[in-house]
Amino acid sequence: MSRPLRPELSLEEAYDLTRTGDLWLFRGTSGADQAIRLLTNAPVNHVAMAVVLDDLPPLLWHAELGRGLRDVWTGQHQRGVQLHDLREAVTQWSGRYEQDTWLRQLDAPVTTAMEDAVLRTIARLDGTPFPSTAALVGRWARGRLRRAAPPELTYCAEVVAATYTAMGLLDPDRPTNYYDPGTFWSGDDLALRRGARLGEEIHVRVAG
């Protein structure tokens, strides 16, 4: 059943609503943020996926250069692909990184098999290094030609794409480096499988 959408939510409201597969999108003003958006022609520069399983608090699955937060999977502070406490991660991206924040809710049942696929993807990718901006753009450009990039590096949109693919929501024949953060914004024509769809962006207010 589709969950109700509102044009704006507080972080606490969004935190309570988010479920596995929901997307969190970010747009900042730093040079790197603007370069990513310019070179990929995207309205946002970062995308992450919520992971909400059993009695665990909501988590955020993504890739970034920073290592300020503890990775829930390894218990360490690391760069690259990370699994964070969602509230802590969104607060950091909104506050320290000065990013506008949106939530897109996944309208699709997430089965136990899909949850298992999420956990396998986390086990496989967690800790993978994040590329430099130049390498990121090179990986993405290669992906737009439908050519897969080597697995030793990965960026945020690849992490989400790999996880959605494992869940059966994206075409496995399309390489993960085909995707950029803007692919997961509503203005793009993202074709999901299994009858799934993503709701419109809900702006999230994060208290300073």
Nearest to 151 by CA among 143, 42, 116: 143
pLDDT 10s digit of each residue in the chain, 208 long? 455 555 899 999 999 999 999 999 999 988 888 888 887 888 999 999 999 998 889 999 999 999 999 999 999 999 999 999 999 999 999 999 999 999 999 999 999 999 999 999 999 999 999 988 778 888 988 998 889 998 889 999 999 999 999 999 999 999 999 999 999 999 778 999 999 999 999 999 998 6
Nearest to 34 by CA among 98, 105, 129, 120: 98
Residues 6+ apart with CB under 8 A from 49: 20, 21, 22, 23, 24, 60, 61, 62, 159, 160, 163, 164
CATH of domain 8-205: 3.90.1720
Q: How crowded is the C-beta side of 56, counted as CA atoms within 13 Å?
A: 17
Task: Tell the burial category of 80 from Cβ atoms under 10 Å away from its Cβ (0-12, 13-18, 19+).
Answer: buried
Task: Tell the burial category of 31 from Cβ atoms under 10 Å away from its Cβ (0-12, 13-18, 19+).
Answer: exposed
